[in-house]
Amino acid sequence: EEKREREREREREREREREREREREREREREERERERERERERERERERERERERESRCRLLMNYKCF
């Protein structure tokens, strides 16, 4: 009986360890998704800066034409 109890306890401990590992894995996945969202936000900011540079460039061209 005692032997079975020790075995059940070891099994419960293994299960707790598996659960902790699953939790760590979920945490890594959440962190990775967050990093990916941040990279996407940065790419979007860069695209916006590029669009702004293009608008400024077109404005300068138009203004130059108006000067002639």
Number of domains in the chain: 1
pLDDT band at 11 (very low <50, low <70, confident <90, very high): very high
Rounded CA separation 37/20 (Å): 26
Q: What is the pTM of this model?
A: 0.61
Give yes or no for residue 9 having a pLDDT over 60: yes
Residue 61 Rama label (left phi>0; alpha psi -120 to 50; beta): alpha
**What is the rounded average pLDDT for all residues in the chain?**
92
Tally the C-alpha atoms within 13 A of residue 23's C-alpha that lie toward its C-beta.
6
How confident is the model over 10-19, as a mean pLDDT? Answer: 98
pLDDT value at residue 67: 57
Q: What is the pLDDT of residues 35-46, one digit of tens each?
A: 999 999 999 999
Residue 52: domain span: 1-68
Average pLDDT over residues 11-37: 98
